Amino acid sequence: MRIAVCIKQVVTKEWQVRVDESGTWVRDQDASWELNEPDAYALEEALRLKEQHGGEVVVVSAGPARVTSVLREALARGADRAIHVEGDTLGATDAFGAAGALAAALKDEQIDLVLTGLQSDDQGFAQVGVILAERLGMPHSTIIMEVQVDGPTLKVKRELEGGFFQWVSMPLPAVLTIQSGINQLRYATLKGIMAAKRKEMRVVPAPAELGAKQKIVSIYVPEKSKETHLIDGTPAEAAKALVGLLRDDARVI
């Protein structure tokens, strides 16, 4: 079984975001980066499926040269080889652009199963896996909490709203978006880090036409402000006015 895991490099949660000179993205130069947490759960699920059924785990990421660090981390955790779709603009592209780049890298790989995290910690589209499935011509299922492989078919458990779940049967090959918390993450050992240096990392250029549909016009840090609102009238009138403000303006009740 050959499993592909799509991973993304995102800004660390501890880093104070700084907007770049164009006002359309963050400053890459002084940012600190890490593996997107939902993608880490997808990688862990792929490694567990490989341990159960055998095969190969291929990690693929689209972005500038800096994304090789998260690919090396994935290799150190146990992935067999990596594909880097290199392009300076891929780090800030939309779901259509990212899915197009990933699909181009995977189309000739004869993949049985593609796993992605549910969404990214930065843009949070939650659409890359869905669009990728369409680009690859594969069935897909989202928000997966459990994966069972039975020969040429899958049985997956989807998380729904209100604490409900849904079991879905589907054929392979397929694309799944994995929910965070599906498993217990493993971390790279010293042995894994040393082995990662010898594993294959293939670099491919980004497609000439990514097919992006959205464009970031502006990014800014929200400004903090304070405002005092005095309420006059009798206690009953003031209470009624306060409830109206909390409900209609503040939207907290």
In a domain, 219, yes or no: no
| pLDDT in the model for residue 217 | 87
| pLDDT in the model for residue 210 | 77
pLDDT tens digits for range 89-148 = 888 889 999 999 999 999 999 999 999 999 999 888 899 999 999 999 999 999 999 999
pLDDT tens digits for range 176-230 = 999 999 999 998 999 999 999 999 999 999 888 877 888 888 888 878 777 787 8
247 shares its domain with 197: no
| pLDDT in the model for residue 16 | 81
Q: How many structural domains does the chain have?
A: 2
127 shares its domain with 178: yes
| pLDDT in the model for residue 63 | 92
| pLDDT in the model for residue 50 | 96
| pLDDT in the model for residue 253 | 80
Helices (H), the chain: 37-53, 68-77, 95-106, 128-136, 190-196, 235-244
198 shares its domain with 246: no
| pLDDT in the model for residue 169 | 96
146 shares its domain with 56: yes
12 shares its domain with 124: yes
| pLDDT in the model for residue 216 | 85
96 shares its domain with 199: yes
Task: Please give the average per-residue pLDDT across 29-37, as a whole number.
Answer: 89
| pLDDT in the model for residue 223 | 80
In a domain, 211, yes or no: no
In a domain, 33, yes or no: yes
In a domain, 213, yes or no: no
In a domain, 218, yes or no: no
> For all residues of the chain together, what is the average pLDDT?
91
Residue 21 to residues 17, 65, 88, 216: CA-CA distances in angstroms? 13, 21, 16, 14
Please check the confidence at residue 166 and state whether its pLDDT lies above 80.
yes
pLDDT tens digits for range 47-83 = 999 999 999 999 999 999 999 999 999 999 999 999 9
154 shares its domain with 59: yes
Q: Are the beta carbons of 79 and 57 closer than 8 angstroms?
A: yes
In a domain, 210, yes or no: no
57 shares its domain with 26: yes
11 shares its domain with 127: yes
158 shares its domain with 241: no
Domain extent for 231: 224-253
| pLDDT in the model for residue 5 | 98
Task: Please give the average per-residue pLDDT across 29-55, as a whole number.
Answer: 94
CA distance 85 to 153: 29
% of the chain surpassing 70 pLDDT: 100
More confident residue, 156 or 213: 156
191 shares its domain with 96: yes
User: Please, what is the end-to-end C-alpha distance for the chain in angstroms?
Assistant: 51
More confident residue, 157 or 30: 157
CATH number at residue 15: 3.40.50.620
Helices (H), 107-172: 128-136
Instruction: Name the token pair of 155.
Output: 């049985």
81 shares its domain with 194: yes
**Backbone φ, ψ for residue 219 (5° rounding):** -125, 135
